[in-house]
A and B are shown apart, each in its own frame.
Chain A
Amino acid sequence: DTAVSQTPKYLVTQMGNDKSIKCEQNLGHDTMYWYKQDSKKFLKIMFSYNNKELIINETVPNRFSPKSPDKAHLNLHINSLELGDSAVYFCASSEVSGNTIYFGEGSWLTVV
């Protein structure tokens, strides 16, 4: 039973398209995150939501818009995709205390 699940795992799309990545966690956590991992494996936080409210919004183009319909879901919508958006996107969750963060399996986005 997967704790943090995200779909799709692989996504190949053309420049200019709009795409969404969905994430769900069944751990009962209040906080969810989106991280971006570049080709050099560096992980950078993009967004963090606590109980459906945005609490961290790093410097990310406004083409990226997170949406949290409830505390178990945090989706990432990307408009007008660019080549530089190609990366692995990880969803994650943690308890409010931030004690441990649990990751999904990642979504490999390739923009051509």
Chain B
Amino acid sequence: AQSVTQLDSHVSVSEGTPVLLRCNYSSSYSPSLFWYVQHPNKGLQLLLKYTSAATLVKGINGFEAEFKKSETSFHLTKPSAHMSDAAEYFCVVSERNFNKFYFGSGTKLNVKP
């Protein structure tokens, strides 16, 4: 069975400081993993995805995530937060070659000036 756990419902950082959003997953198969961002009153935008190539995945807007199979984690990081990063972030796991996507409960990122 697949599941995703986002360990923090809210994260607050100061502008210019690093961002860490944590995600753990469980999967019976080789998973594909994704991070999506949702700005207020907007749809979900793909930030990055892992699909069995390099374990360190770079995405848009300076975000990256590292797939760690031994820890079943796919944490999202950014070296320096920007005010425009304030949004809701979703970690997603899917079974390859299936059409099921499992969403985490979301982490709201607040960026303080």
26 A–B contact pairs at CB < 8 A?
A: A33-B101, A40-B105, A41-B38, A41-B88, A41-B106, A41-B108, A43-B90, A43-B106, A48-B99, A56-B99, A56-B100, A94-B99, A97-B96, A97-B97, A98-B97, A98-B99, A99-B51, A99-B96, A100-B34, A102-B46, A103-B44, A103-B45, A104-B43, A105-B42, A106-B41, A106-B43
CB distance from B23 to the nearest CB of A (A): 14
Cα of A56 to Cα of B95 in the assembled complex, Å: 14
Interface residues of B (CB under 8 A from A): 32, 34, 36, 38, 41-46, 49, 51, 88, 90, 92, 94-101, 103, 105-106, 108
Complex contact A31–B99 (CB within 8 A) = yes
Question: A96's closest neighbor in chain B, by CB?
Answer: B99
- B-chain residues with CB within 8 Å of residue A48 when the two chains form the complex: 99-100
Given contacts A99-B32, A100-B32, 20 further A-B contacts (CB under 8 A): A33-B101, A48-B100, A50-B99, A90-B44, A98-B32, A98-B94, A98-B95, A98-B98, A99-B49, A99-B94, A99-B96, A101-B34, A102-B46, A103-B43, A103-B44, A103-B45, A105-B43, A106-B41, A106-B42, A106-B43
Which of B44, B45, B49, B105 is most buried by chain A, counting CB atoms within 10 A of its CB? B44
Interface residues of A (CB under 8 A from B): 31, 33, 40-43, 45, 48, 50, 55-56, 90, 94, 96-106, 108
- A-chain residues with CB within 8 Å of residue B100 when the two chains form the complex: 45, 48, 56, 98
The secondary-structure label for the interface of chain A is strand
- A-chain residues with CB within 8 Å of residue B97 when the two chains form the complex: 97-98
Cα of A82 to Cα of B50 in the assembled complex, Å: 39
